[in-house]
Amino acid sequence: MLVCSCNFITDSEIVDVINELLDEDCWQLIVPAKVYHAMQKRGRCCGCFPNVVDIIIRTTEQYHAGRHSTDDEIFDFMIRLKQFHEENRRADLERRQKSHRAA
Ligand code: FES
């Protein structure tokens, strides 16, 4: 399924990159920009980023479920990952509202 219409990126391509990043460091916090950078792409309108965040969270959960990570490690990491993305989402909304008011 096409996730990013600006760059023609599918969900399976995103999942593959996330798994490669997790193979390098399974506890790193992955953001959409890191995924796109690894694909040598960049966000243009960035309208796909909320969906990419959902794919990152889902893929990371599945990655750790299939490994020898303990439930406590996974729980702590997923809480940190979700908080990190929620803070980024809030900051992005505030930025958009400020730029909308300035226009
Ligand atoms: S839809 Fe992905 S950058 Fe525009």
Q: Please report which confidence band the pLDDT of residue 90 belongs to, taking 50, 70 and 90 as the band edges.
A: confident
Q: Which pTM value belongs to this model?
A: 0.80
How many angstroms does the Cα of residue 66 sit away from the middle of ligand 1? Answer: 30
The pick from 45, 53, 54, 55 for probing ligand 1's pocket by mutation, whose C-beta has the most ligand atoms within 8 angstroms, reads 45
Torsion of CA 20, 5, 54, 32, to 10 degrees: 50
Q: Please report which confidence band the pLDDT of residue 4 belongs to, taking 50, 70 and 90 as the band edges.
A: very high
Residues contacting ligand 1 via CB (< 6 Å): 4-7, 43-48
The pLDDT tens digits for 61-79 are 899 888 877 888 888 888 8
Domain ranges for the chain, please list them.
2-102
The pLDDT tens digits for 24-69 are 998 888 999 999 999 999 999 989 998 999 999 999 989 988 887 7
The pick from 2, 4, 51, 54 for probing ligand 1's pocket by mutation, whose C-beta has the most ligand atoms within 8 angstroms, reads 4
